[in-house]
Structure 1
């Protein structure tokens, strides 16, 4: 168990990220000592194991847990969500079926639209109707709802409530929610006009459907985990997709906010590295056991997306056109994920070509070199054969390695291809690198950014192993390997703050805005966020509230959020100038069209605690290492014993 030292803190803080293969854990003791562990992700016992390790460090201290998880993304990818129904306004039953009419490739005649998350037989219409201006045309019929709850929706675990024009007037949705709670207290439900009050019927309905279908899944997961680690309430905080923390009780009602929980933590830590080292442009590269992730960081701030697509249909190739997955209209770190990790399995396709991934060996049995019964060749096995990874043990000695088993696994693809074991291992690594290059290009070149001006921050269990080869391919001149690279996502959890976002729809030409009314709407958003913070035990007076405005040119679909200037007589002019600059920077032209406000958003952040740095000194050793498809003798260095003045 690796140790370092931080400043004093009154509790034992435990940060852990459960990935597909490994669980990364950092313990910060009350006296400031830091302990790190990398454990195999045996989901049935991992929480208990973390609790046992915490007790060994300090059995008396109060414990605070911070957690990143792939539970939600896995549930959506594997379509293992809860049975969910939906209540919507008459005439809108097929919105989830029709989607937004986007498709990932207009030339692919064989493409089939993915099935909606909620099947049509469980989507039911209500006769109520609210008009676009918020006035009620037809009231809610309580008996109609009772009949649906006792009839066709009697067996579902959750319900999504999404009525037309609810952002303008959510009272009908409130009434439906109250009736569900009274008639079926066992049901989980998500209400669109209160939780996701944005214009855009499909986006709002899809987001609500995803949230509702994940609520029972996350509740079961957190209940089991809290029982294993001995935490509840504010004792367990969850990383969100945008890089902030929320209390586990809030997570149970807003699971849609934690779909990219795991990857976001690492990007947050990379952004802190960028700030501390004065790095203007950074490519964050995270390669774990199952996948590899890439994200761009500009001026020490991770790039964010206001909307993502999730599920088995979403992919790297569909990120620009959309239509391949389920839309989630919540802020998220802008990252690209590909199926190339240390555990990705190498195989030979029907044409006799060598392939890598996306299927992986997982934690059980894992790569062959772990000696846990795995026999299929993986990227990790290839790295052991090539000498990029130790042939004795990794993860501070906690995971033994067996080179002979790795060679035997690689031989299973080398022999049919007529290659040596070393040549096959080299090919596996190169194929995996090619896949990961696509992700790095997607967040740089395809966004109009030249990667040659970036620094790559590489982390994850396998990230630093592949980083230099990837950097050479992209023309990146500097690769930064941070402290604790193998458990860097857990480091990000220590650095995270509370964060919550709130939105409000507002449709108006920018030149008609009244500063007083504008300010009043932000006061309502701040009140909503303050209530969430207070429920988490945070004093709103200790929080920072950032205001942004969503705008778009009339008859355009592209909306951008810009920082809100002071609400005075120059409000419209300042918004126009700021938006024009932002639009020009992204799209390289500015249309001659009127500018409209489409929504307001506010972000609340509050400190939870601080991380720290380790103490370093130096030692080196040597082992045979691959160069190309051959072996050379290369010096290796122990990162934990290197000083800031060490050169290589």
Structure 2
């Protein structure tokens, strides 16, 4: 969208999403038009790929960095990578004496009680860097034993000698009274130079000692990586004449300023996947669809999210670095709000192999961007999902990234041949096996995710995006008993787009166990006011004025005696009405929706207050240059994904007119991705440019 000389420059906004294999860039004009690009992620220096892609998309649009006067929003995997690959610097944990083993003992739950070889990820903090202080605050916040300043000074010497570069402070019951943690943090900051320090009362002021300590340790571990990275990013954007400082996408689906995000990297873990789920909600609104399942398949992983009432499900607890991908409890728990996603190691770079039983398996190991799939020609020798798609004719070796990145089909054939020999089939059937195995794995993960949350997934439209999502979406939909797949425009970079259509937002929590009929409303109002003020201050960094910030209040609630809570968002501000019955009614409605029943004569209690500070909603505006006259396919080629003699028409997406129907098998190509429409399905382009594929009635029978 180059401009003529003298044309007035309207607002441009920029989004960059760094994934495990590709870095996606979206430049959005204020009229809704998009310019996009996609480049390989540079893991040795993420900013190298970041700015390579940014410069490419600016050149494509014919503008300079100074013309980007709107927001610059960033989603990144830097925190996830640091945790999984253990790239962090030495990190220490300071606890109350007697609780030094909290990260090792965990919560004593076994995620598989019948497995004698049960495994957990190694704690992020080594035992020699875990220290206890003689102090004690009781559950009600009263001080039982004062903290000794001399002991804290001695602790600083131990941390210095141990080489700690980051410190997580998590003292007993600090969610109820943070005074001791604040004192320790202030003293360590004064006594230690160049050390990153965070406290649990700032990061996760919630009950449950292990989860709070784990979350704080994750945050401290990531700070020495994320904070300098975000500051380097801000400095370089300023040096290159971008008008605004970067905003960072959070796991909860909000965006905040880089400084706030740098202090709270634990909130960034699922930033990219969260942005994709929010983009799905944006399109649900445009399409007038209340329920759908988002399906995001990239180069490294595939993610699914349930969208109900055009809103994603949100959880207050998730895990990273799981030993077993489907086993709750096998990872490191993090108690920060996050879009509720299921993630599986099934992306384009997922490696196919034969297990000890001689069975074909795909993932979770990924070739990533370096060396990448065999067909990338960068040294990879293992067959991957992308290699299988190339072998089957679903993607064109000469048209990958619009021809900017040629694929080496001979390398794919060699890799696939070695795998085929191991399972005694030919290379084509090995590739088809990879396609089917990875599709079954993704459908199984989505099915489990929905069933565990009491959601009937059958018949929900599948909203497909990510670099490989549209290639597999129809096959996944069939397994999920869905008959409709939606592939939006620019689907390959939709997570980056999602960061541009979500408002600034920060979710804050504070535990305070109390029966609903015994709430001290003056104390509760003081807590909620403080959280709201903290949220408003954080959003000011993201450019939101206080008058534009909306505050939403909720709580984690349960019946007395239960172990788990249900998160409820209240329609009315409870600080005003102070009506316990309204809170109980909101909880029981939510509880009944999950479990179908409400116990009688059981008191209800609030475990944790939740406050969401949200900036102005983003207007739903999308511009697409759609073709009105029916086009023609550009070619036919063998496509062997569904049968041995298959031939499919190949279309350029831009050549399909609105309402024009294409009967499968069809392959629809665009620069950044490809859509596969199998036999028995029909695809069309709707009025806003989405490909809508539907299973034919005869095929459903």
Task: State the TM-score bracket (shorter-chain normalisation).
Answer: over 0.9
Cα gap change, 1:365 to 1:541, in 2 (>3 Å): same
C-alpha contact (below 8 Å) 2:31/2:622 kept by paired residues: no
Partner of 2:321: 311
Q: In structure 2, how many angstroms separate the alpha carbons of the residues matched to 1:48 and 1:69?
A: 14
Between the aligned partners of 2:101 and 2:500, the Cα distance in structure 1 is: 44
In structure 1, what is the Cα distance between the partners aligned to 2:638 and 2:183? Answer: 70
Equivalent residue for 1:139, pick from 127, 135, 146: 146
C-alpha spacing 1:58/1:300, structure 2 compared with 1 (3 Å): same
Deviation at 1:235, TM superposition (A): 1.6
- CA distance in 2 between counterparts of 1:451 and 1:227 reads 45
Q: Is 1:49 the equivalent of 2:52?
A: yes
1:395 touches 1:486 (CA, 8 Å); kept in 2?
Answer: no
Picking from 61, 82, 85, the partner of 1:75 is 82
1:605 pairs with 2:614: yes
- The correspondence of residues 586-625 of structure 1 with structure 2, limited to 5 A, is 586-592=594-600, 593-607=602-616, 612-617=622-627, 619=631, 620-621=633-634, 622-625=636-639
Q: Normalization by structure 2: what TM-score? A: 0.86
Contact 1:515 1:569 in 2 (8 A): no
Superposed displacement of residue 516, structure 1 = 5.0
Partner of 1:86: 93
Which string of whole-angstrom CA distances, capped at 9 and with x for unpartnered residues, describes residues 15-42 of structure 1? Answer: 1111111111112357865311111112
Task: Out of 155-164 and 167-176, give the one that drifted further.
Answer: 167-176
Question: Closer, same or farther in 2 for the Cα pair 1:452/1:608, shift >3 Å?
Answer: closer
**Alpha-carbon contact 1:316-1:336 (below 8 Å) kept:** no
Mapped to 1, the partners of 2:577 and 2:353 lie a distance apart of 65
Q: Match of 1:400, SS?
A: coil
> Per-residue CA shift, 1:65-85, capped at 9, x if unaligned?
211111111211122222111
CA contact (8 A) 2:553 2:573 kept: no
Q: Which moved more, 1:348-357 or 1:264-273?
A: 348-357
Aligned twin of 1:491: 497
Task: Give me the whole-angstrom Cα distance separating, in 1, the residues matched to 2:224 and 2:521.
Answer: 42
Question: 5 Å matches for 1:30-429?
Answer: 33-43=33-43, 44=45, 45-53=48-56, 56=59, 57-59=62-64, 60-62=66-68, 64-154=71-161, 155-226=163-234, 229-230=237-238, 235-313=245-323, 315-319=324-328, 322=329, 324-429=330-435
Structure 1 pair 490–51 and aligned structure 2 pair: CA distance change class (3 A) = closer
Which deviates more, 163-172 or 283-292? Answer: 163-172
Residues 542-584 of structure 1 show CA distances to partners (whole Å, capped at 9, x for unaligned) of: 1111111221111111111212344366721111122112112
Deviations 1:269-288 (A, max 9, x none): 01111121122221111111
Asked whether the equivalents of residues 281 and 453 of structure 1 are also in contact (C-alpha less than 8 Å), the reply is no
Q: Is the 8 A contact 1:552 1:596 kept in 2?
A: yes
Do the aligned partners of 1:422 and 1:629 also contact (CA within 8 Å) in 2? no
**Out of 553, 556, 561, which is 1:550 matched to?**
556
Instruction: Confirm or deny: 8 A CA contact 1:544 1:606 kept in the other structure.
Output: yes
Task: Check whether the contact 2:272–2:496 (CA below 8 A) recurs between aligned residues.
Answer: no
Question: Taking structure 1 as reference, are residues 470 and 30 closer, same or farther at Cα in structure 2, changes over 3 Å only?
Answer: closer
Aligned residues: 641
Cross-structure match for 1:533: 539
Q: Give the corresponding residue for 2:670.
A: none
> Structure 1 residues 536-545 or 242-251, which shifts more?
536-545
**SS, match of residue 141 in structure 2:** coil
Aligned-partner Cα distance in 2 for 1:420–1:196: 54
